[in-house]
A = this chain, B = another copy of it.
């Protein structure tokens, strides 16, 4: 079979040019005589790689000087614990719950202090984002936590909450690098890399430097942001291959796409293909309030669970894979991250039209 269009919510597609580059130098990186997978992380050749990845990320995301970058293991799920363990100095934090992962983040924080759920969109099965201007935030919260794009429910914040004196912490796993980001609006942002950045196995945190060094002595060394960041993510052996792959993706964004503004344009166009089609017919339904529709994850249902199942099976035969929706939502979900080509979305829309015609 040829390569398929993979609509997985993550891990997900990587740009084919990135995979080809990785393949071409898999046995020997440059003139090092080694695979990146074999290199000592303390060697000068690997040091050049990790430094380039950090500086590329800083350039692409336009990270201000007073923010530090760290590469961590354990995915966003480990960040759910690291955020309160490092930042919850008042013993309290505010959480907005807009889906499964923001709920998990709040539950994890409740192990370490008071995690107050200040707003939730659970009442309508997370099909919208609460009005961030109408929320009664805590004045003494150590931070306010959000999940900026909700992979399972296909929503995203249209506007960021900003509470004076309270750092905003955001899980950006499923939207990072999809468009320009004003990092200065966040105290800390983090993301698992397996959706838009690299193969699974790493989370990256970007932390305003005044928020570092607040963890208690009893916090596990590896869960202390400062430990890892002070050691330039080399406190212990980092996930070297994952970091290298992230570098290839960042170079792809810079050199092939032309940066995040161009990336956003491409992504908006891809999402519009799908949403415009969805809005033009009545066979498939997208439940999300238009204002909050995710550009990365597009959910939709056909008239019945049986037809949903048939849709996914036939789509797979047509080379459109992993379209099954999350069990919490049902139906279908098309995750159209950075690396999904426009042609993949066009093919999906064409397939949907055909399916509608045959089954409508």
Q: Please classify how large the interface on chain A is, using the bins under 10, 10 to 19, 20 to 34, 35 or more.
A: 35 or more
What are the interface flags for A6-26 relative to B under an 8 Å C-beta threshold, 1 for contact and 0 otherwise? Answer: 101111111010011011001
Asked if B200 and A43 make an inter-chain contact with CB atoms under 8 angstroms apart, the answer reads no
CB of A90 closer than 8 Å to a CB of B: no
Contact of A245 among B3, B37, B78 (CB under 8 A): B37
What are the interface flags for A296-335 relative to B under an 8 Å C-beta threshold, 1 for contact and 0 otherwise? Answer: 0000000000000000000000010110000000000000
Looking at A175-183, A217-225, A254-262, A271-279, the stretch in contact with chain B turns out to be A217-225
Report the minimum CB–CB distance from A353 to chain B (whole Å): 23
Q: CA of A192 to CA of B33 in the docked complex: distance in angstroms?
A: 24
Looking at A115-123, A137-145, A236-244, A286-294, the stretch in contact with chain B turns out to be A236-244
CB of A28 closer than 8 Å to a CB of B: yes
Number of this chain's copies in the complex: 2
Q: CA of A34 to CA of B3 in the docked complex: distance in angstroms?
A: 6
Asked if A321 and B75 make an inter-chain contact with CB atoms under 8 angstroms apart, the answer reads no
Asked if B23 and A240 make an inter-chain contact with CB atoms under 8 angstroms apart, the answer reads no
Asked if A40 and B220 make an inter-chain contact with CB atoms under 8 angstroms apart, the answer reads no
Report the minimum CB–CB distance from A42 to chain B (whole Å): 8
Given contacts A108-B221, A200-B238, A322-B40, contact A3 B16 (CB under 8 A): no
Contact of A39 among B8, B28, B34, B75 (CB under 8 A): B8
Asked if B218 and A111 make an inter-chain contact with CB atoms under 8 angstroms apart, the answer reads yes
Q: CA of A9 to CA of B28 in the docked complex: distance in angstroms?
A: 19
Asked if A33 and B220 make an inter-chain contact with CB atoms under 8 angstroms apart, the answer reads no
Contact of A111 among B8, B34, B40, B220 (CB under 8 A): B220
Asked if B77 and A236 make an inter-chain contact with CB atoms under 8 angstroms apart, the answer reads yes
Q: CA of A3 to CA of B36 in the docked complex: distance in angstroms?
A: 12
Contact of A200 among B8, B9, B34, B240 (CB under 8 A): B240
Asked if B26 and A199 make an inter-chain contact with CB atoms under 8 angstroms apart, the answer reads no
CB of A89 closer than 8 Å to a CB of B: no
Which B residues touch A1, using CB under 8 A? 28, 31-33
CB of A130 closer than 8 Å to a CB of B: no
Chain B, Cβ-Cβ closest to A220: B81
Which B residues touch A19, using CB under 8 A? 26-27, 35, 37
Report the minimum CB–CB distance from A310 to chain B (whole Å): 18
CB of A91 closer than 8 Å to a CB of B: no
Q: CA of A8 to CA of B40 in the docked complex: distance in angstroms?
A: 6
Q: CA of A108 to CA of B16 in the docked complex: distance in angstroms?
A: 43
Q: CA of A6 to CA of B36 in the docked complex: distance in angstroms?
A: 12
Asked if B34 and A85 make an inter-chain contact with CB atoms under 8 angstroms apart, the answer reads no
Asked if B14 and A37 make an inter-chain contact with CB atoms under 8 angstroms apart, the answer reads yes
Report the minimum CB–CB distance from A29 to chain B (whole Å): 11
CB of A267 closer than 8 Å to a CB of B: no
Asked if B200 and A202 make an inter-chain contact with CB atoms under 8 angstroms apart, the answer reads no
Question: What would be 5 A-B contacts, judged by CB atoms less than 8 Å apart?
Answer: A3-B27, A23-B23, A38-B199, A81-B222, A199-B240
Given A14-B38, A34-B321, A77-B222, 20 other A-B contacts at CB below 8 A? Answer: A2-B33, A3-B28, A4-B32, A8-B40, A14-B37, A19-B37, A20-B27, A33-B321, A38-B199, A40-B322, A73-B78, A74-B222, A74-B236, A85-B220, A108-B220, A108-B221, A112-B218, A199-B240, A200-B238, A201-B201
